[in-house]
C-alpha cells in the first residue's frame, strides 16, 4: 500500500512471522540458545513461555531454520489434537510405516521402530509444539508417553512446548505432575525494553530497505515504546498504523502526531499512552 511512497521493498511491520526480520533480543537469544543446547545434549522436555505477541511463533521458525541435516523435525502449529491424531501426525512426519486401520499399540510400535532407525542413522528427532496451552490434557499425557521412547543413552524424541503463561497453570495440575517433572529447561520471553525498541524498529526498517535513522523521530519512538509496552506484535501494529497515517497525509517521516493517532486507533495499546495521545491530539487541534 505505502511501500512505493516510503521507498520500501516490502512492508516493514507485517504481522506474519518472517525470519528475515528476526532480531536477537536478550530473552529471545537466551531461549534460542537454551533450545539449541538442550537439543544438542538430547535432554528431555523444553518449555518456552511468553505472553501473546512476544514472538513465540517467529522463535519456532528461527529454531527450525537453525537445525542441521542431522535433525528430523515435526512442527505442530495447532495442537488441538486428540492422542490418536497426535501419534498419527508424528508417525507421518518422521516417515513411519503405518496405515489408517492400525491399532494404537501397533502405531506406537511403528513410531518406535522408525525412531530407532533414525537414531542408528545418527539423526535426532524434534517435536515442536506451538500454542501448547491449547493442547488437551489427554494429548499432553500422550506426549509424556511418547517421551518414554529411548535407548539406554538418549531420548529418541525430544519435545519442545511453546505457549502462553496459561501453559504453566496447566502443567501445575496434579494429574500432570509427571510431565512437569520431565521439563529439563525452561525460558520466559520478555517484552522489549528501553533502547532495544529503537534497535527493533530500525532493524525492521533496514530489512525493508529504509536506511534513514531518523525515519521515526525520537519522540515517536518513545511513544511507540509506551503504547506497545514492548510487545513486538503490538509494536508492529502501532508502527504500521503510524505509517498509514503519515502516508495519508503525504508525509515521508513519522512524528509524534502519527504515533498518537495510531495509539488512539488501537484499543490494545497501553492506557497511559492512550491518555497522553488523546491530550496531545487535543492540544494539537487547539494550536492549529
Domain with CATH 1.10.8.60 in the chain: 193-287
Predicted confidence (pLDDT) at residue 226 exceeds the cutoff of 70: yes
pLDDT in tens, 129-164: 999 999 999 999 999 999 998 887 788 999 999 999
Angle at 56 between CA 55 and CA 57, to 5 degrees: 95
Cβ atoms 272, 226 nearer than 8 A: yes
Predicted confidence (pLDDT) at residue 286 exceeds the cutoff of 80: no
**What pLDDT does residue 282 have?**
56
- More reliable by pLDDT, 102 or 20: 102
- Domain 193-287 belongs in CATH node 1.10.8.60: yes
Residue 254: closest CA among 227, 286, 285: 227
Residue 141 CA: distances (Å) to CA of 67, 77, 86, 145, 212: 27, 18, 11, 6, 52
pTM equals: 0.88
CATH class of the domain defined by 26-189: alpha beta
User: Which residues, listed in sequence order, are joined to residue 285 by a DSSP beta bridge?
Assistant: none
Amino acid at each position: 500500500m505505502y511501500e512505493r511512497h516510503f521507498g520500501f521493498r516490502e512492508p516493514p511491520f507485517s504481522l506474519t512471522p518472517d525470519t528475515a526480520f528476526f532480531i536477537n533480543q536478550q530473552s529471545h537469544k537466551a531461549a534460542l540458545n537454551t533450545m539449541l543446547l538442550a537439543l544438542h545434549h538430547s535432554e528431555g522436555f523444553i518449555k518456552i513461555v511468553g505472553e501473546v505477541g512476544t514472538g513465540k511463533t517467529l522463535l519456532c521458525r528461527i529454531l527450525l531454520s537453525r537445525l542441521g541435516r542431522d535433525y528430523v523435525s515435526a512442527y505442530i502449529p495447532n495442537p488441538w489434537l486428540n492422542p490418536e491424531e497426535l501419534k498419527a501426525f508424528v508417525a507421518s512426519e518422521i516417515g513411519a510405516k503405518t496405515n489408517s486401520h492400525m491399532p494404537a499399540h501397533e502405531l506406537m510400535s511403528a513410531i518406535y521402530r522408525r525412531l530407532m532407525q533414525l537414531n542408528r542413522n545418527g539423526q535426532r528427532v524434534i517435536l515442536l509444539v506451538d500454542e501448547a496451552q491449547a493442547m488437551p490434557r489427554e494429548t499432553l499425557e500422550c506426549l509424556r508417553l511418547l517421551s518414554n521412547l529411548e535407548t539406554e543413552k538418549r531420548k529418541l524424541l525430544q519435545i519442545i512446548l511453546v505457549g502462553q503463561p496459561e501453559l504453566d497453570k496447566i502443567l501445575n495440575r496434579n494429574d500432570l505432575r509427571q510431565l512437569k517433572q520431565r521439563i529439563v529447561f525452561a525460558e520466559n520471553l520478555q517484552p522489549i525494553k528501553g533502547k532495544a525498541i529503537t534497535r527493533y524498529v530500525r532493524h525492521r526498517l533496514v530489512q525493508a530497505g529504509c536506511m534513514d535513522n531518523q525515519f521515526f523521530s525520537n519522540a515517536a519512538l518513545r511513544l511507540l515504546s509506551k503504547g506497545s509496552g514492548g510487545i513486538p506484535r503490538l509494536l508492529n501494529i502501532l508502527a504500521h498504523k503510524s505509517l498509514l497515517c503519515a502516508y495519508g497525509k503525504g508525509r515521508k517521516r513519522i512524528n509524534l502526531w502519527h504515533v498518537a493517532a495510531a495509539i488512539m486507533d488501537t484499543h490494545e495499546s497501553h492506557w497511559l499512552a492512550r491518555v497522553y495521545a488523546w491530550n496531545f491530539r487535543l492540544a494539537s487541534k487547539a494550536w492549529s
